[in-house]
Amino acid sequence: MRLSGTLFASLTVVLLATSAMAQPAPMTGMSGGAMNAPNANGGVGIFSKENMAMMIVDRDRATKGMTTEQAAAARQEEMSKHSSETPAERTTRKQMYDTEWAKLTPIEQSDALNKLQAQQAARGMMAAPPAK
């Protein structure tokens, strides 16, 4: 059972990395800058790294039990919806992620941050951790 979960997570990372490369056009943010530019909080745009990890948790919950194709379609729909948000809607979504993040256990938070780090590494958004 653990292996299938790991396999699903790995496949998800590969699919997300592939779709990210297939759609290179950046979203513009409230200040006109690129929404995919890293911020001082380790996140992107107005979202902190915890917000981004919460996005992964929400996506995993929403796509649980779906086929790979269904999950990819759901992710594409989510990306389209997010790219058309107004700044106020984006701020509301950030506040929702902050609230949801606080409800997670420390183990769930750690798992979500690990998934985020793996996705960012797969996309070349951050350096891999140093070898021990």
Distance CA 26, CA 36 (A): 6
**What is the helix (H) or strand (E) element at residue 92, kind and residue range?**
helix 87-103
Domain ranges of the chain: 2-24+46-122
- Whether residue 74 contacts residue 63, with contact meaning beta carbons closer than 8 Å, is answered with yes
What pLDDT, in 10s, does the model give residues 35-55?
A: 556 665 556 677 889 999 999
Average pLDDT score, the chain: 76
pLDDT at 123: 82
pTM score: 0.60
> For the residues 110-132, what does the mean pLDDT come to?
77
The encoded tokens of residue 90 equal 């984006």
Most confident of 6-15, 27-36, 117-126: 117-126
- Whether residue 85 contacts residue 93, with contact meaning beta carbons closer than 8 Å, is answered with yes
